[in-house]
Amino acid sequence: MISIQGKGVSTGIAVGPIYFYRRADSTVRRYEVSDRDAEWARFKAAQEKAIAELGELAEKARAEAGDEAAMLFETHQIMVKDMDYEEAIEAGIKESGLNAEAAVSDAGEMQAAAFAAMDDDYFKARAADVKDISTRLVGILLGVVQGGIDSDVPVILASDDLAPSETVQLDKSKILGFITSGGSGSSHTAILARTMGIPAIIGVGDKLKAEYEGREVIIDGSTGAIALDPDDATRAQLMKKRADLLKRQALLNELKGKPNETKDGQRIRVYCNIGSPSDVHTVLENDGGGVGLFRSEFLYLECDDYPTEDYQFEAYKKVLSDMGDKEVVIRTLDIGADKQIDYFNLPKEENPAMGNRALRICLTRPEIFKTQLRALYRASAYGHLCIMFPMVTSVWEVREAKKMCELVKKELTAEGKPYSEDVQVGIMIETPAAAVISDRLAKEVDFFSCGTNDLTQYTLACDRQNNDLGRFFNAHHPAVLRLLKLVCDNAHKNGIWVGICGELGADLELTETFLSIGIDELSVSPRSVLPLRQKIRETNARAVHEGCLAALASDVTPL
C-alpha cells in the first residue's frame, strides 16, 4: 500500500481505479498519404462518429435547457454532412493527397472565411459553427478524448487541476472523486466536487505518478488521505467510515421538509449554489429552499462562441420552471481572472483577478450584457427570478447596470414579450470597497449576497487559487467577519436582505456567527443543506448572540 496525504476539500469516501485526465492535443500535422481511398474512408468514419456525438449532445441539451438549445447541435449535425464542405474535404484527400486532419482543417478555414465575408449577420455567425464542427472532426481523427475521460467504468479522476472550461466538459457520471496535485479549496474542481457531493483532495504535489493509472485507490475527502492499493486493514477501516457516513446521511434525510429554525425561533433561508440547469435536481433532492447562486458564466464556458439570447433563455427558463415558486438568484456573466474564454479575446493581464472581469466586462461590452439581460427577463415569466451583479466597487456601476435593465424591459414591452415585473436586482459584496460603501449601495438594490471567496482574497491580499499560502488565507479572519457584519447592518438599516453565497456559508464553525450578525440567507452546495439545517436547529441564537458580537469587537476570531 502507498499512502499519500493531501488536503480534503469535499467530504466523503470513494473507492475505484485512478485515472489521469487527458488534455486534448489537437495540433494538426500535414503529410501526404499513400492510400487516398483508405484516408477518405477514415474521414467518413469520423464523420459518422461526429454525427452520433452531436445527436447525443442535442438530446442532453434538450433535457437540460429545451428545444432551442438542442437546435444548435442539430444544426451542426446538418453542417457536418453539408455537400460543399464534404466535397472540399474530398478534394483535399483524393486530389491533393492530404491526410484527413489537414483536409478537414483546410476546408473548415475556407468555408469559415466565406461565411465571415458575407453581409448577412445570420450567415456571418455560421463561420463559428464551421470552425466548431471542424475542430470536432479533427479531434476524432486525432483520437482526442472528449471530456478528458476514456473509461467504461467510473473513476477517481486525477489531474494537476482543472480549468472551468474543462470542468464543464466532464462526463460527471464517470467521476467518483477528484485528486489534484495543485488547486485550492475554492478552485473550480473543489466547487464542482461539493456540488456533485463527491469527495475531493487537492495539493498532493508530485506524489501522483503516471504509473498509478488503473490501480485501485480509496480517498477520504474529510482528512485528505489517499490509500493506493489499500491493505485489508486500511480498506476495512475506510469502508466502515463510509458506511457510517451513509448512516449519518440517512439520519440527515429525516430533516427534509423541516424549517431552518433555531431552538429559540430564529429562521434563516438555506439555498444552493449551482453551475448548470442539470444541477437543479440535486437542489430539490437535498431540500434546498431555492437557488442562491446560479453561475451563468458556465453557459458561456460550454460554448465555442457567444451563446445566443434564445440559448440562454432556454437554460434560465429550465432552471426557473424546475424550481417552481422557489427563489432563483442568477449571477450575470462573471468571467476573467481564473475563468478565461477564448472567443472573448481578453488581453493578457499581469493581475487578472483585479483586472477586466465580471461586471466590468459587461459595462464595457454592452452588447453581451444586453443579450444576457434580455434572456433573463424573458425567463422571469416562468419563475421567481433575482438578478445579481458581480464584482461591484462603486455606486455608478450599479446605476449603469440598472439602466441597462430598464432599457431591456422597455424593449421587451415594445416587442410584446412577457416578463415578470417582480424581479429583484441585487449585487455581490466581494470587494472591500463594496463592503465599506454598503450603506450607499443598499439604497440602489433589493439585496446583497456576499461572495466570501473573493472578499477574503481581496481583504487579506491572498490569491484564492494559491494553495501554498496555507494559513495566510484565513476566511475566519476578524477583518473578513467585521466586513460581513458591517454589510449586514447597512443592509438591514435600508430594508434589504443579505445573504452569503461563498464557500464560507457552509462552514458550520461560523453558523452561530452568521445567525448573530443577522444574515438572512446562506447559499451552499446542495449536499451541505441538511448538515447546515441540523446545525441551525441545534443552536440557541440568543444564547450565542452576545458572545459572538463581543468576539467580533475584539482582536480574535469569534470561534
Q: How many CA within 13 A on the CB side of residue 96?
A: 17
* Catalytic site residue from 188, 272, 362, 386: 188
Average pLDDT value over all residues in the chain: 89
Contacts of 334 (CB under 8 A, 6+ apart): 295, 296, 297, 357, 358, 390, 391
**Which pLDDT belongs to residue 349?**
77
Residue 107 grid cell: 476546408
User: What is the percentage of the chain residues whose pLDDT exceeds 90?
Assistant: 61
Write the burial class of residue 297 (CB in 10 Å: 0-12 exposed, 13-18 middle, 19+ buried).
Answer: buried
Whole-number Å distance between alpha carbons of 361 and 481: 29
pLDDT band at 558 (very low <50, low <70, confident <90, very high): very low
Nearest 5°: phi and psi at 28?
Answer: -90, 120
pLDDT: which is higher, 63 or 371: 371
pLDDT band at 69 (very low <50, low <70, confident <90, very high): low
Whole-number Å distance between alpha carbons of 345 and 358: 14
pLDDT: which is higher, 417 or 337: 417
Between the ranges 63-67, 127-131, 219-223, where is the mean pLDDT highest? 219-223
**Which pLDDT belongs to residue 271?**
97
| Sign of the dihedral through C-alpha 295, 297, 300, 306 | positive
Mean pLDDT of 25-49: 91
Pairing label, strands 225-228, 216-220: antiparallel
Residue 350 has pLDDT above 80, yes or no: no
Q: For residue 479, which of 454, 460, 466, 465 has the smallest C-alpha distance?
A: 460
Residue 296 has pLDDT above 80, yes or no: yes
Mean pLDDT of 333-340: 76
**Which pLDDT belongs to residue 146?**
64
In the 8-state DSSP scheme, what is residue 197?
A: T
Q: For residue 448, which of 358, 388, 503 has the smallest C-alpha distance?
A: 388
Length of the chain: 559
Q: What is the pLDDT of residues 83-98, one digit of tens each?
A: 999 999 999 999 999 9
- Three-state DSSP at 8 gives strand
Nearest 5°: phi and psi at 64?
Answer: -90, -30
**Which pLDDT belongs to residue 555?**
57
**Which pLDDT belongs to residue 66?**
67
**Which pLDDT belongs to residue 172?**
81
Residue 292 has pLDDT above 50, yes or no: yes
CA separation, residue 465 to residues 80, 168, 184, 434, 473 (Å): 40, 19, 5, 22, 10
Give yes or no for a contact between 15 and 217, defined as CB atoms under 8 angstroms apart: yes
Write the burial class of residue 468 (CB in 10 Å: 0-12 exposed, 13-18 middle, 19+ buried).
Answer: exposed
Mean pLDDT of 355-359: 84
Write the burial class of residue 27 (CB in 10 Å: 0-12 exposed, 13-18 middle, 19+ buried).
Answer: exposed
Least trusted range by pLDDT, from 143-147, 313-317, 416-420, 489-493? 143-147
- Three-state DSSP at 498 gives strand
Least trusted range by pLDDT, from 115-124, 219-228, 313-322? 115-124
Strand partners for 175: 155
**Which pLDDT belongs to residue 466?**
73
Containing H/E element for 521? Answer: strand 521-524
* Catalytic site residue from 303, 488, 501, 548: 501
**Which pLDDT belongs to residue 19?**
93
Whole-number Å distance between alpha carbons of 313 and 296: 11
Q: What is the pLDDT of residues 450-474, one digit of tens each?
A: 999 899 999 999 887 676 777 788 8
Q: What is the pLDDT of residues 196-252, one digit of tens each?
A: 888 999 989 888 888 899 999 999 999 999 999 999 999 999 999 999 988 888 888
Give yes or no for a contact between 308 and 368, defined as CB atoms under 8 angstroms apart: no
Mean pLDDT of 343-354: 78
CA separation, residue 338 to residues 61, 266, 274 (Å): 26, 38, 18
**Which pLDDT belongs to residue 559?**
42
Whole-number Å distance between alpha carbons of 270 and 290: 7
**Which pLDDT belongs to residue 26?**
67
First-residue to last-residue Cα distance in the chain:
38
Q: What is the pLDDT of residues 162-196, one digit of tens each?
A: 876 677 678 888 899 999 988 777 677 888 788 88
- Verify whether residue 188 is a known catalytic residue: yes
